[in-house]
Structure 1
Amino acid sequence: MTTTSETPAPARGRLLVVGAHSADFVWRAAGAVAKFVKAGGEAKVVALTYGERGESGELWKQEGQTEENVKRIRHGEAERASAHLGATFEAFDLGDYPLVNDHADIERLAGLMRDFAPTVVLTHPDTDPFNPDHPVAYQMVQKARLMTSGAGVESGFRTAPPSEFLVFEPHQPELCGFVPSVFVDITEVFEQKKAAMAEMKAQAYLQSYYAERAEHRGNHARKVTGTKEIRQAEAFMRLVPNVVGSL
């Protein structure tokens, strides 16, 4: 009797996206999240704050508006947006403008990483001259990720395997030291991204901006690959090298 061996299917990956505010993941990485889930992976979105003070201007125009109600609305928007992409959503509710880099909150984020054990982590770049919260979010994620993967005395920490680490495209890439090293073709999930963006009514003015940005990056991805079928893409910058068997 002849037996044949098959190459085992790759393990399902886990994608963790951490944003300073509840809508950040939608503009910068919704397409990548949808593609990851479509390929069989699991995705979790974490918002460190709701952006209730600094990113909810449309909501504050309503008479009698309260901070707690803004948070409630923003939570619902982010949950529905995540559902469009097949991801789960969790909010830390740490308070925005300014987001504070607190040790206990880093420990909380590290605990989540140990439990979820992401294979890929996405967050903000470390520089943003116009937003005080985005670099703080990066610092928190960077520290939590190092603690999770065993920085320090490994035996003193519960660890998880090292993840890939990338930052997503900021609003002003040329002012944030962002140089794309990865393009994700989101053509087949672009309608999902649009549906997720449409949920973010507190910042509806950004929907057209990021739809156009996806078209721009799609053009760049076509130039890089010669693949004419690419229409929309998202850009990311890798912070740690990826390891391959061959080039």
Structure 2
Amino acid sequence: MCISTQKLAGEQTKNFETNPGRTKLNHPNKLFTTILVIIISGLSFSGCLHQKQPEETASNTEKTTMKDENILPGQGEKPVPKATITIVYDNNPYDPRLRKGWGFSCLIKTNGKTILFDTGGDGSILLGNMEKLGIDPKKIDIIVLSHIHGDHTGGLETILALNKKTTVYTPKSFPEDIKNYIRSRAKLVEVGKPAEIVRGVYTTGELGTSIVEQSPVVVTPSGLVAVTGCA
């Protein structure tokens, strides 16, 4: 199997894919300051492997949960055949075409699903960068918000104005007015404990105390890859 890293047209993109018969890892010195590759050894989250199906409520909200609290999210699961992570919004863009801004957003593509993790601090910058990278905001299946800070949620309103079919995953501790706003424009999933988002992609569940956040975890051939908002 193979894990490969490359820059396409200057943007910071990382591809994970299976290549039977050999293992290779290539990564430049300046690689994803916000991406942590977790090879399972001595780490622990309060997570689990088996998912309990979310229950629909009349308020357009789902709540996620998983059963075993002693297993890392995604541990033991079959790796996705291919996953691509592209940074869309950052204060240090690798593509000179992209506008920089304080905050973070990246796109995770795997198993035919498109997941936007965080939305940066400015919707116009986010949309402009998406256009330059050939990303259609109307085709984003899922939005995952790490935490409540404006430099990670500032572009949400802009995306929801264009895409009313997406599902938004937030920590369940988000303020009620924010959750109600999301419910009025999209489907909301409140995250407490670790849970599966789509096959091969999990959320850590709520972490931290003063600033509660979550991170998506992708099951790749090289191990678990967690993408963090403010690590």
More helix by share: 1
**TM-score normalised per structure 1:** 0.30
Report the structure, 1 or 2, having the larger strand content: 2
* Larger radius of gyration between Structure 1 and Structure 2: 1
TM-score, normalising length from structure 2?
A: 0.31
